[in-house]
Structure 1
């Protein structure tokens, strides 16, 4: 079996920044902080207590949020926040809006303002880089 101790992987930039800041407060490197958070998250996610089952029921919409304790509410909010961030990171809003016939405007890699049309064409609106 291959050594999986330190496989190269991509981590979201905001997590690296947060890990570096929190790690500095905890006398850990950013990598050590990410490892710590992952282990804590793994332990919480795999711990199937009655509290965890209540949180999972609330996440599934099968239980009212008012039945959660404040600690369970913190876990619920963390689960929702992580799910939202994962969805946002994976969404291509330009293509979604184009499919609905919406023209969008965004900065390109060179910092220029570009208009993206639903038909797939685009035009540079502000070419101050020239």
Structure 2
């Protein structure tokens, strides 16, 4: 998935437009590379699963959490449970915007 496609997916769960999302990621990258207080290699190892989050400083942890949040937003944007349940012939329930239960019966 390229940056534009990732940004499109992220906008489904954020309040940013595609250009705003790309600019947001660019700001994070710029700050990461320019900061003498941030060890970008350590952050990269944590994001790759080969380093320990607990070994990062506070600012580095914040950057890692932001990156994880962006990854989760992209993944969530690609989910389509409704189609999966429909394809499986299963019913499902969810809460509406007011917190009320909405049951979607299986379609035959």
Shorter chain as denominator, the TM-score bin is: 0.5 to 0.7
Distance 1:44 1:93, change over 3 A: farther
Distance 1:105 1:52, change over 3 A: same
Aligned partner of residue 15 in structure 1, secondary structure = coil
Q: Which has the higher contact order (CA 8 A, sep 6+)?
A: 2
Structure 1 unaligned residues grouped into runs of 5+: 1-8, 20-30, 108-112, 123-130
Is the 2:28–2:63 Cα contact (8 Å) retained in structure 1?
no
User: What is the CA distance between 1:105 and its match in structure 2?
Assistant: 3.7
The partner residue of 1:78 within 60, 66, 90 is 66
Equivalent residues, number: 90
Matched residue, 1:40: 27
User: What is the CA distance between 1:36 and its match in structure 2?
Assistant: 5.0
RMSD over aligned CA atoms reads: 3.7
1:115 and 2:100 aligned:
no
Matched residue, 2:15: 15
2 CA distance for matches of 1:76 and 1:91?
23
> Comparing both structures, which one devotes a greater share of its residues to helix?
2
Aligned partner of residue 104 in structure 2, secondary structure = strand
Q: Normalising to structure 1: TM-score of the pair? A: 0.51
User: What is the CA distance between 1:59 and its match in structure 2?
Assistant: 1.3
Distance 1:60 1:38, change over 3 A: closer
